[in-house]
Amino acid sequence: MDPCSHPELKIFSGTAHPELARRIAEYVGVPLGEAQVKAFADGETSVRIMENIRGRDVYIVQPTCPPVNHNLMELLILVDAARRASAARITAVMPFFGYARQDRKDRPRVPITAKLVANLIVAAGVNRVLTVDLHAQQIQGFFDIPVDHLYALPVFLRHLSTQKLESLAVVAPDVGGIKVADSYARALGSQLATVAKKRKSDTEVESAYLIGEVADRNVLLVDDLTTTAGTITSAARICKEHGARSVRAAVTHAVLTDMAVERLRDSVIEELITTNSIPTREAQLRDCRMTVLSIAALLGEGIKRIHGDESVSGLFNVETIS
């Protein structure tokens, strides 16, 4: 398709993760757009886009990671600024989608906050959303605009292929993650197992029993998200108790609280493999034995294909992103 038929591509960043935005822009081959984002004395967010975007194809990179409310509001304000500056199309690039776990009414008189956030994003003026490994796939249906949902699986597989792990068993840390774990197991040609758990509270998980065989195998726990690390550390412990040689964990979004850092530091997990969907602190890298993989190329390729009106389904292949 003739590139001249497409409006000029512009990438901007909020303050949530400017380093990732810079890497994405480098991959796409465009300079990162200049936007002034600051706070007034009273804490209100001030945004000014410092270049002409009239008729441009605009991409705003902003994961809604902690502080979630601040980063979400900043995204909405950036979108409103771009809309009022007459951007032709606005795509919210949200490597991590906050509030994704509040996707249903599991108790009386509670909100479905993920749907509310989707409504806010659409109301602000977003035309399309690009995201990675949503906690619940049905969130795509909360939007009345296109959602390009990418998977970090190819990024993890390239890293794991260098580890040369023999006798591998992929383990879902809970029954809800069995579908994702099965994708990894098929791609790696390994055994599949799962841990059935009981949740004591919002921050405490009691793993009950293991379904499958991990004895004398190298275990890879896979999950999309961890916050307090209760699920993966208890699953790792039960795998070790059942004779696993070693335990690693691959988690797309490591939104680690202080409690999670303590649990991971004291756990049997030898390596926590994650992505740079959100910023990572140096202390986390050291104490949690973390390996951080970049998804800048994955998102950058997604942006290039959206801009060129091409299919993004090819991004699900391991060989696609270099």
Catalytic residues, by residue number, are 197
Structure tokens at 249: 């964990």
H helix intervals, 34-177: 68-84, 113-124, 153-161
* Secondary element (H or E) of residue 307: helix 296-307
Say how far apart CA 170 and CA 181 lie, in whole Å.
6
Q: How buried is residue 182: exposed, middle or buried, by Cβ count under 10 Å (0-12/13-18/19+)?
A: middle
Say how far apart CA 192 and CA 246 lie, in whole Å.
15
Residue with tokens 């949740």: 199
* Secondary element (H or E) of residue 60: strand 57-61
Measured over all CA atoms, what is the biggest interatomic distance in the chain, rounded to whole angstroms? Answer: 61
Reference 150, options 296, 27, 9; nearest CA is 296
Q: Are 99 and 114 in contact (CB under 8 A)?
A: yes
Residue 283's SS3 state is helix
* Torsions phi, psi for 284 (to 5 deg): -65, -45
Q: Are 173 and 235 in contact (CB under 8 A)?
A: yes
What is the Cα gyration radius of the chain?
Answer: 20
Residue with tokens 């659409």: 122
